[in-house]
Amino acid sequence: MKELTVGIDIGGTNTKFGIVDRQGNVHHQGSIATTDYEDFKDFFDGMADALREAIHNTVSGSKVVGIGVGAANGNYYTGTIDQATNLKWKEELPLAKMFTEEFGIPCVLTNDANAAAVGEMVYGNAKGMKDFVVITLGTGLGSGFVCNGTLLNGKHGIAGEVGHTSVNPTGRYCNCGKRGCLETYVSATGIKRTVYKLLADHLEPSELRGISFDNLNTKMITEAAMRGDVVAKAAFEYTGRILGMKLSETVVHTDPEAIFLFGGLSQAGDLIFKPTIRHMEANLMPLFRGKVKILPSALQNQAAPILGASSLVWDYLDKKKHHLATA
């Protein structure tokens, strides 16, 4: 019987889900509006109903063997979402336990960047790699570390928050309460802040002048840079420099084979990859030079968060099998 997994990506606006096979083919996709539910219990019931229907409609001659969930502030150890800033429910949300009880199959939950890292290992460009890092460049900057073939969770399930390490102790204010965090410079929001600073510093004409902060987005900055806009080009160079310098330090901790860039900003291609690679290499401890690849994620499509979440189940089942075989 063909085995399938469910992947669920809980976002502040929408919760997307899909039913996925071992090769990463998505057989069914759906979503519910996260914001429609005042009560967490109602949200869970809505999600469970949608899933039951999806499973009923998709699965003939196959069975669903587990549920993977990716969410901001998702904790792998406890299976809970804790104090997520993008959700209105501030209590500890025991989602993994609730799904397991409801459907009678294992549920693995972690934060969205960790899910992206496992997704890259199971379906993407990190297949066969044992040591790598995934940097997700969205509204903020997330990161997931895989060491010796295993996702790094740490003592409290919150390992690898590179986005909140410092690049400038007296720098920009960050949502986390600190100052100068990497994500205040390197993220969709970070590059907008950089563009605004550069517009203030430079006298050259720029097509980005006159666009309000709220209307400005990564795509506009990318397209302007491709047309040769001085400020947009300088913004990418600056962003790549900060990211490259930070990655030259990140590398030292776990000695990865590769670092994958995922998400909106990474789709700017050479504009972000070239300065990142150049500044990482220039700042690397000599022992590491020329050894660490910076690569694009293979999961750059709409279904990426669902794939990441569903991959958690395959990884969990593989490790369980391995554990039983060697016990």
Least separation in angstroms between residue 113's CB and Zn ion is 14
Q: Which stretch binds Zn ion (CB under 5 A): 71-79, 117-125, 180-188, 282-290?
A: 180-188
Residue 179 engages Zn ion in binding (rule: CB under 5 A): no
Helix, coil or strand: residue 226: helix
Residue number, 173 or 213, with CB nearest to Zn ion: 173
Nearer CB in complex with Zn ion: 181/312: 181
174 interacts with Zn ion by CB under 5 A: yes
Minimum CB distance to Zn ion smaller for 82 or for 257: 82
Rg (CA), the chain: 20
Q: Which structure tokens are listed for 170?
A: 């007296």
At residue 69, the 3 state secondary structure works out as strand
Q: How many CA atoms lie within 13 A of 221 on its CB side?
A: 34
Of the candidate residues 159, 176, 199, 245, the single one contacting Zn ion (CB under 5 A): 176
* Interacting residue with Zn ion among 8, 146, 167, 181 (CB under 5 A): 181
Report which DSSP code applies to 36.
Answer: G
Compare residues 104 and 169 and give the one whose CB is closer to Zn ion. 169
The count of residues interacting with Zn ion (CB under 5 A) is 5
Among 22, 28, 172, 178, binds Zn ion (CB under 5 A): 178
In the bound state with Zn ion, the residue whose beta carbon lies nearer, of 175 and 301, is 175
Nearest to 265 by CA among 290, 296, 291: 296
* C-alpha distance across the termini of the chain, in Å: 27
Measure the CA–CA gap between 210 and 43, rounded to whole angstroms: 41
Question: Which three-class secondary structure state does DSSP give residue 135?
Answer: strand
Q: Which residues bind Zn ion (CB under 5 A)?
A: 164, 174, 176, 178, 181
